[in-house]
Amino acid sequence: MTETAPRRRRKTFPTLLSFPLRVGLFCIGLAVTFLPRRAELVLGAVLGRLLLALGVLKSKIAEDNLRNCFPELSDPARRRLLERNFEHYGMLFFEYAHFFSPFPGHYRTYMERNTAIEGLENWRRAAAKGNGVVFVAAHMGYWEFLAARGALSGIPLTVVTTVVEPPWLHEALTAARLSTGVRATFHPGSMSGVLKALMRKESVAFMNDQYARPPMGMPVRFFGVSVDTLAAVGPIAKRTGAAIVPAYSLRGKDGKGTIRIEPELELGPALDDPAAATQAIAARVEAWVRQTPEQWLWMHRRFKNVVWPERG
């Protein structure tokens, strides 16, 4: 089995825009196929700074999020952090473009050449318990590096993701992931694929850093405020006996994406309480973000419906 079949959403992507998008992505994919990694980083940083100067790509959301989460920073320091964050987004553009290379096998080669992994032994110990592994991850660095390098390193991995439109775009993304060994299960309706993978004693990966409204999410503390957060991991681990393993990726100055797999998250009695389990996971994610804030998705509306305290 290669993937859990997605439930198709009602098609919303305008047909007239689909063709030029396809042509554009083909051209971009062809171009990046021959682009040296160093050039990707330089051009990505330039692109990101340009987007910030133009005030696009949800720059106001990113700026507000940084102001609220790092009130201790001076205005110049926070501005520099915002600039580095947008440089990161520019690099992501070039990294994502490799999905669309017209050359078979290019995506896999690109991932093999530009990624490294640390802590694989932590996954092996968790997997040896025999009930599967649930990875808790975040949109740190280039998160597709995380999935691809894990699968290339021998981890039988299914990621939880969404269906995209139009269908040809969804199929292109899925095929590229499959070339590295990454399977997918799609929500809504992803739980069946998750449970089947764990029954096969494999691994599944959730992104645990985005806003998730109830019933899939519940409010826990994140950067000092209560915000709705995905709450599925604790109950799944309780039900299946799967080990919970944190993992994230970071892009080094040389462009290498380093995948870091941490030791199993031992929740103990907290596993019986979804709120406590979700809080423990949120705290882990927050620690990653605080460590390398420039490589997180600050432009995401993570803090929906939050009333921030007045800053003195």
Give pLDDT tens digits for 177-200: 999 999 999 987 899 999 999 999
Distances (CA, A) of 296 to 2, 20, 59, 89: 30, 30, 13, 9
The pLDDT value given to residue 311? 65
pTM for this predicted structure: 0.93
Domain that holds residue 278: 15-295
173 falls within a domain? yes
For the record, the structure tokens of 182 come out as 């990454």
Q: How would you classify the pairing of strands 225-230 and 217-222?
A: antiparallel
186 falls within a domain? yes
246 falls within a domain? yes
303 falls within a domain? no
9 falls within a domain? no
Number of domains observed in the structure of the chain: 1
For the record, the structure tokens of 70 come out as 């790092």
194 falls within a domain? yes
In this predicted model, what pLDDT tens digit does every residue of 196-255 receive, in sequence order? 999 999 999 999 999 999 988 999 999 999 999 999 999 999 999 999 999 999 999 999
- DSSP state, residue 56: -
3 falls within a domain? no
10 falls within a domain? no
Kindly give the residue spans of alpha helices, DSSP state H, lying in 34-163.
37-54, 59-69, 75-97, 106-114, 120-127, 143-152
Give 292: exposed, middle or buried? Use CB within 10 Å, 0-12, 13-18, 19+. middle
